[in-house]
Amino acid sequence: MTHGRPPRTGAARGFAVVALALALVAATSARAHGPEIGAPGEPAAVDRTVEIVMRDTRYEPARLTVTAGETVRFEVVNRGELVHEFNIAAPAMHAEHQAEMQALMRDGHLTATGLDAHGEHDHPNSLLLAPGAGGELIWTFPDHADVELEFACNVPGHYEAGMVGAVHLRGS
């Protein structure tokens, strides 16, 4: 009885390896959908300024390349006739935010051209701009490149109309 393993040890070890692999998958997807999309940046830390023009219903430029860890000052202007948003997030977060925006519109706080004083839209990763308005957003991107990010407008119908652009995160 001092040598030879019970027959189930190998299977148990295999199960442990699978469990570890699943834990890693869970950690990776939590990162993609969790807070690791970056964070609001400090003005003193800005590496670069990028101008974004919003039109009905697209962005210029339509995609961005950013170095991991970079702090970017986005100067955003709405040249369209509709209200638009510039929001940096993972795709699943945009989907959630679209539901919030739909509720604002259903309650009458958000219209095609603006947000009223009672409509709450306070998100550090987003600018919501009326026609003709401009704004600034400073964002520090994650220090790794393994997250999928998009900049998008979650005003109802706009994302579906193509108002979304990919953020290509380059390893630093």
Q: Which of residues 21-80 bind Cu ion (CB under 5 A)?
A: none
Q: Which of residues 149-168 bind Cu ion (CB under 5 A)?
A: 153, 155, 158, 163
Element (H, E) at 50: strand 48-55
Q: Which of residues 80-119 bind Cu ion (CB under 5 A)?
A: 84
User: How many C-beta atoms surround the C-beta of residue 99 within 10 A?
Assistant: 10
| Residue 66: φ, ψ to 5° | -130, 140
Q: What single string gives the DSSP state of each residue in 61-92?
A: SS-EEEETT-EEEEEEEE-SSS-EEEEEE-HH
Residue among 116 and 146 whose Cβ is closer to Cu ion: 116
Cα gap 43→133, rounded to integer Å: 21
- Quote the least distance from Cβ 66 to Cu ion, whole Å: 21
Instruction: Select the span of 33-41, 62-70, 99-107, 147-155 touching Cu ion (CB under 5 A).
Output: 147-155
Residue among 76 and 169 whose Cβ is closer to Cu ion: 76
Residue among 24 and 161 whose Cβ is closer to Cu ion: 161
Residues that bind Cu ion (CB under 5 A): 84, 153, 155, 158, 163
